[in-house]
């Protein structure tokens, strides 16, 4: 017991034991921050591709409708007489 209290250098071991929860928590937070940042970047890229795909489909539909449009354009639809009876 005299060797333990007098000569053994156990201070670093007890400090490690004391700070292990803090060190573990810091590493865990660092890891998950990196993973979520990577996931966020992937989601942004995926959303941009989805937006691009939808706009490309919209442009194709508009082009197809313009090709089928009559030469003079569409006449406005009139429901009833233009002057009162």
3-class secondary structure per residue, 16-60: HHHHHHHHHHHHHHHHHHHHHHHHHHHHHHHHHHHHHHHHHHHHH
CA distance 52 to 36: 24
pLDDT of amino acid 5: 66
pLDDT of amino acid 82: 76
Query: What pLDDT digit, counting tens, does each position of 27-81 carry?
Result: 999 999 999 999 899 999 999 999 999 999 999 999 999 888 888 888 888 888 7
Vertex 27: Cα angle to 25 and 28 (nearest 5): 60
């Amino acid at each position: 017991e005299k060797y333990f209290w007098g000569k053994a250098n156990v201070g670093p071991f007890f400090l490690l034991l004391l700070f292990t929860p803090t060190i573990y928590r810091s590493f865990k937070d660092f890891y998950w921050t990196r993973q979520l940042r990577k996931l966020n970047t992937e989601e942004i890229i995926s959303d941009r591709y989805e937006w691009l795909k939808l706009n490309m489909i919209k442009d194709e539909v508009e082009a197809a409708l313009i090709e089928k449009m009559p030469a003079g354009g569409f006449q406005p639809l009139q429901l009833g007489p233009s002057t009162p009876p």
